[in-house]
Each structure stands twice: as structure tokens, then as C-alpha cells.
Amino acid sequence: MTIDWFHYMNLAGVAVCAISGTLMAYQKRMDGFGVIVLAAATAIGGGTLRDIMLDLPVFWVADPDYLYTTVVAALGTIIWLRFIDYFPYHYLLIADAFGLALFNVVGMEKALTHGAAMSVAITMGTITGVFGGMMRDVICREVPLVFSGELYASTCIAGGLIYAMFYYNGMPNTWSLLAALITTVLMRFASMRWHWQLPVFKSE
């Protein structure tokens, strides 16, 4: 995968997650500052933690394009929301699913590029995918999706395992990343459609 493709995929993930954060802010009736804060937390939170853990320069500090993308995506979503009559909650879930998948493969690719083992790369992909959404939900006083029993982090792990299978069988890197992306998105959509869940603790 070329550096340009990696950069554009990362930008796409940031944009989609910023949209997700903005939709949540709209649902919670936040002011303009709250919208930007929530969009930024969702869009760059996971990647920030990943880079700190890998001891790398934080991606949006090194390249402010990611901040610009966050602001543009948030403002564009705000303008779009002005022309609708109801809150499209399913759009939030769709945006979140695509952001999850994009950040999952971006996190894995970045970790592998800097010499991490495959198990570490899968972990970094999962952290990149879920941490921004977790911050978004905590700020909004919601139980994070990753803790609610829904297939969320597990879809990232599944995508990572598919990537590893393709990678170790000598498939081109682009195909490996695409397979991981598709697996993560489809599993997330399927879990939303058929309510697939992991076992959760229940009170007696």
C-alpha cells in the first residue's frame, strides 16, 4: 500500500468519525464548541492513543490536514442537519461502522510499518478503531458500544485475523487490507441487523 493511499484512508477515517461525533452532538443538542470537541475526540482520539503507545509522533500534530478534515467534516454535517426534519440515528451507526473499519486497518498498517509484531498490530488496529467512539460515548454519558455486548471491538479483531491470514499466505498488502476492511464492516452491519451480541453480566 503506498503512502498516499495510507494517507487518504486515514483522512477518510477521520472524516467519517468526525461525522459520527457530530451526529451524536446533534442528538445531545450541544452548542457549536461542543460539536467540534466531540467530533475531534471521535476522529483523532484512537489514533492519538495508538501513536503514544507506539512511541511515534502524534499523527495530527505532525500533519494538520487531519485537524482541517475534522473541522470540515463537522461543519458539513452541521449544514446538512439544518435541512432535515428528524435525527437519522441509523446514519450515526453507519458512519461509526465505516470509521471503525477504516481506523482498524490504518492502525494495523501503521503498527506493521514501524516493525510491530502481528499481534501488536491487531491490538493497535482495535485501539485505533474503538477508542475515539468510546471517548464520544463517555463524554455524552452513554454506555460505550464497546462495553454494551454488541459486536464492536470483536469485529476489529476478526478483521485483523483475516488480514493476518491473507498476509501470511503471501497475498498482496492491498488485498489483505481490503479483506480486513470488508470483514469489519460486514460483521458490524450484521451485528446491528440481527442483534448479534457477546454474553454480558446480568443481575439476578
Q: What is the mean pLDDT of residues 80-85?
A: 83
At residue 202, the pLDDT reads 66
Residue pair 129/72 in contact (Cβ under 8 Å)? The answer is no
Tell me the per-residue pLDDT of 26-54, one tens digit each, with 9 for 90 and over: 989 999 899 999 999 999 999 999 999 99
Q: Give SS3 for 197.
A: strand
At residue 150, the pLDDT reads 76
Q: How confident is the model at residue 180 (pLDDT cuts 50, 70, 90)?
A: very high
Using the predicted structure, report yes or no on whether residue 58 has a pLDDT greater than 70. Answer: yes
At residue 201, the pLDDT reads 62
Q: Calculate the alpha carbon distances from 189 to 23, 35, 61, 182 in Å.
A: 18, 26, 33, 10
Tell me the per-residue pLDDT of 135-176, one tens digit each, with 9 for 90 and over: 999 999 998 878 877 788 999 999 999 999 999 999 998 899
Q: What is the mean pLDDT of residues 2-13?
A: 79
- Return the number of other C-beta atoms located less than 10 Å from residue 34's C-beta: 14
Q: Give SS3 for 86.
A: coil
- pTM: predicted TM-score of the whole model, two decimal places: 0.89
Reduce the secondary structure of 11-73 to three states and give it as a string.
HHHHHHHHHHHHHHHHHCCCCHHHHHHHHHHHHHHHHHHHHHHCCCCCHHHHCCHHHHHHHHH
